[in-house]
Amino acid sequence: MEYSTYGRHIVVDFWGVDFGLLNNIDFLQEIMKDAGEKCLATVLSVAYEKFDPNGGTVIIILSESHLSIHTYPEKGFAAIDCYTCGKKTEPNKAINYLIEMLKPKATYTKTLIRGLNKIEVMD
């Protein structure tokens, strides 16, 4: 099997997200796994950490790369990263699903095109 170096890397800040959603590690694992599947990627494993007193990190290892979320419930903030290699995946579908599930009041997004001997930023 030949692998492409072409990839899309979407980095998103979510603001104004409900504390309870961002502090629920079981919910976050579920929606992150679902997001990986919705973007047509192959989910290989899930790693997570719940922090004390609040917040958490969930990392989804994909055959095509990764999807991650780091939450700061006390600030209503989540940092999300979706990097997928190849052209069969649709990382925007993962991000749109997470917007639907977390309902942020504001989002700030950068999309990078990687693996072309340079990094292209697409806004």
39 is catalytic: no
Q: Which residue among the candidates 39, 65, 66, 82 is catalytic per the annotation?
A: 65
Low-confidence stretches of the chain (pLDDT < 70) are 1-3, 118-120, 123
H helices of 1-123, in order, are 19-22, 25-38, 91-102
State residue 1's pLDDT score: 46
Q: Which residue among the candidates 39, 66, 82, 85 is catalytic per the annotation?
A: 85
9 is catalytic: no
State residue 3's pLDDT score: 63
Given a contact cutoff of 8 angstroms between Cβ atoms, the answer to whether 17 and 99 are in contact is: no
What does pTM read for this prediction? 0.92
